[in-house]
Amino acid sequence: MSSHPIKFCPSCATSLQMLAMPEDGGDKVRLRCPACGWTHWNNPTPVLAAVIELADREGQLLLARNAAWSGKMFGLITGFMEAGETPQDGIAREVAEETSLQVDALNLIGVYDFQRMNQIIIAYHALARGEIVLSPELAEYRLFDAESVRCWRAGTGYALADWLTARGHTPQWIELPPRPAEH
């Protein structure tokens, strides 16, 4: 059985249930309150990501390992938008907060589906510079040449592959280990 992020209605405190109700396009089963009709829409969360190219380090790419990740996977800098900021302002803030780098220019790479985490990833190429000082959220970083970086077949890995392809590089892929079964 899947777990839901909320168990009780935020309006009337009744236990929520998976209930079918008519919506545009027909009946849809969602987590709903049987007492007042409140619906948990469970829409995807927008997440910002950056392929960071270091203008002051011969165009090397910065990938980082999140302190919460097991293993040695390095990925793009990512984060959530804050209320009242644009996606561009949000990813520039995330890059500064997580790496201390100053973003000189941003260009949209694309928008990517990441259903496993119920997220939509908005990915940018960030041309950045400065001294790299990681936030406690990140355990370590590595610098890669575009020719040697490896992409992964999930979420932000597709954004990195698209950026490499647009730059005339053929993406090289790593295979991620299978995820443990969720109970």
Task: Encode the chain (183 residues) as per-residue pLDDT tens digits.
Answer: 345 679 999 999 999 999 999 999 999 999 999 999 999 999 999 999 999 999 999 999 999 999 988 778 899 999 999 999 999 999 999 999 999 999 999 999 999 999 999 999 999 999 999 999 999 999 999 999 999 999 999 989 999 999 999 999 999 999 876 666 654
**141 within 8 A of 64, measured Cβ to Cβ:** yes
Specify the pLDDT at position 181.
61
DSSP tag of 129: E
Specify the pLDDT at position 103.
98
For 153, counting Cβ atoms within 10 Å of its Cβ (0-12 exposed, 13-18 middle, 19+ buried), the class is exposed
Alpha carbons 46 and 122: distance in angstroms, whole number: 7
Specify the pLDDT at position 2.
47
Cα–Cα distances in angstroms (integers) from residue 77 to residues 63, 97, 104, 148, in the given order: 7, 10, 16, 18
Q: pTM for the whole thing?
A: 0.87
Specify the pLDDT at position 180.
63
Half-sphere exposure in the Cβ direction for 11 (13 Å, CA): 10
E strand or H helix at 44: none
